[in-house]
Structure 1
Amino acid sequence: MRVMVFVKATEDSEKGFAPTPETMAMMQAMGKYNDELRNAGILLTADGLKPSSEGKRIAFDGPGRRVIDGPFAETRELVAGFWLWEVKDMDEAVAWVKRCPNPMPGPSEIEIRPLYEMADWQE
């Protein structure tokens, strides 16, 4: 089963990355964790995202399209980074997330969402 694992944005992550001793230690811990995922054969891809102030959204309304410049409101609904994993089931994904170093200073949240697979569309 493939899952997308989202690191939710925080007010700090929306300010952008600053190479402080704390953030560099977090990056080192996350690099070690990613190595563990890779060695276990779970990690398909992973990356961090720049703040929403550097992003755009495209709003669809029938044939119409409207471009909305960032930053976007509701920081807690934004994504700061992600992994794509191949796991045997959701329990395995949860167990791996519980081992993850805190990805942000202070409180943070990680969300796990399964991907649709071809078998989901077969009768």
Structure 2
Amino acid sequence: MKYMLIMRATDEALAAFENVDFAEIMEAMGRFNDEMISAGVLVAAEGLDDAADGVVIDFSSQPPVVSDGPYGETKELFGGFWILDVASKEEAVEWAKRAPLTGPGQKTEIRRVASIDEFPQDNEWIQKERAWRERTGQL
């Protein structure tokens, strides 16, 4: 089963790491990623750019309104994610507990990634997606 571990941090948590040397951050994340690679559970991992450089599309009106990030009333921002292929949610939780660069105001959300096999296989769009995944080596 695949699980996504989503790094979330408050402004205070982000401020706590403002003065940490970037090389130290890379070392900590690199070691953690290497552990997951060695264990054979890491599928993907990415950090996200600063929310101030993003945009938000609000579908509350027509046409949708596009505004510069970050989001209106942000309590926590996503900073990055890992996708793990593990046997259970409990195993995903154990990996998340080991994540580096954590502390007050830092949270990791864990969500299962649905498999294409869970959707009706006779659906035209599922069949097209399966064919696309096969063509691109994702199945």
TM-score band, normalised by shorter chain: 0.7 to 0.9
Give the drift of 1:94.
0.8
Once residues 12 and 49 of structure 2 are traced to their aligned partners in structure 1, the CA distance between those partners, rounded to angstroms, is: 12
Letter in 2 for 1:55: G
TM-score (norm 2): 0.71
Equivalences, count: 119
Instruction: Give the aligned CA root-mean-square deviation in angstroms.
Output: 2.5
Counterpart of 2:4? 4
Unaligned runs of 5+ in 2: 122-139
> Quick one: distance in 1 between partners of 2:61 and 2:68?
20
Give SS of 2:106's match. Answer: coil
Structure whose CA Rg is larger: 2
The offset of 1:8, in angstroms, is 0.1
Identity %: 34
Amino acid of the residue matched to residue 112 of structure 1? I
1:74-106 deviation per Cα after TM superposition (whole angstroms, max 9, x unaligned): 232x201101111111011011112222x3464
> For residue 83 of structure 2, what is the amino acid of its counterpart?
L
2:134 corresponds in structure 1 to none
Cα deviations across residues 49-96 of structure 1 (Å, max 9, x unaligned)? 1221110011225863221211223232x2011011111110110111
2:5–2:109 Cα contact (<8 Å) kept: yes
Deviates more, 1:60-69 or 1:27-36: 60-69
